[in-house]
Amino acid sequence: MKIVLIGYMGSGKSTVGNLLAKKLNLAFIDLDQAIEEQEKISVLEIFEKHGEIFFRRKETEVLKRLLAEKEDRVLATGGGTPCYGHNMEQIEKSAAKSIYLKLSIQALVDRIRHEKAERPLVSTLADEDFPEFIGKHLFERTPFYERADEVVFCDGKTSEEIVDEILLSL
C-alpha cells in the first residue's frame, strides 16, 4: 500500500504522514527531506542558490523515483508538488492512494504564520500580504489538490482525528 498526502504548505502532511505510517507499520518519507538527502543541501538553500525551477525539476525526479519503487509507504509531498509539470498525473497513474488534506485559508494562515521563516515561498512576505497570498495561491492549486482520490477536511481536527478518518477510508 502506498499513500500520497497532498495539500497546501502547513496542512499537516508531514505530521499526519508520520502518525499514519506508524499506525499502518509503513515507512514514512517526506519528499522535501528526500530531495535534501539527494542534493545534500536544504530546500531553502536550493531555492536560494538555484531557484524554484531547479527545485521543481529535482522534486519531479525524486517523486517519480519514489512512486516507481515497490516498497509500501506513506509519502508526504510538498505543497506545490501536484501543481508542477505532470506530477499529479504521475501520482494518479501510480498504484498509490492520494489524499488531500484540506484546510481553510484562515487555518492555513494561522499555522504558517508561525513558521514563515522556514518556508521559501512566504519567508519574505509582509504580514499584511500573507492572507491574500495564501488565498490566491490556494485558489490556483485547489484544482490539482482536488484530483486526489480522497479529500479530508482538517479544520478543527487534531492530527490523530485526521489519521483515524484516513484509516476509515482505506
Q: Which residues contact 78 (CB under 8 A, 6 or more apart)?
A: 9, 31, 32, 43, 59
What is the predicted pLDDT for the residue at 117?
A: 58
pLDDT tens readout for residues 11-58: 999 999 999 999 999 999 999 999 999 999 998 899 889 988 999 999
Report the C-alpha dihedral over residues 13, 18, 21, 25, rounded to 10 degrees: 180
- Indicate the domain borders of the chain: 2-164
What is the predicted pLDDT for the residue at 129?
A: 78
What is the predicted pLDDT for the residue at 128?
A: 77
What is the predicted pLDDT for the residue at 90?
A: 96
pTM reported for the whole predicted model: 0.91
Enumerate residue ranges in the chain where pLDDT < 50. none
Where does residue 138 rank: exposed (0-12), middle (13-18), buried (19+ CB within 10 A)? buried
Cell of 62: 525524486
Fold category of 2-164 in CATH:
Rossmann fold (3.40.50)
Amino acid at 2: K
CA atoms within 13 A on the CB side of 22: 10
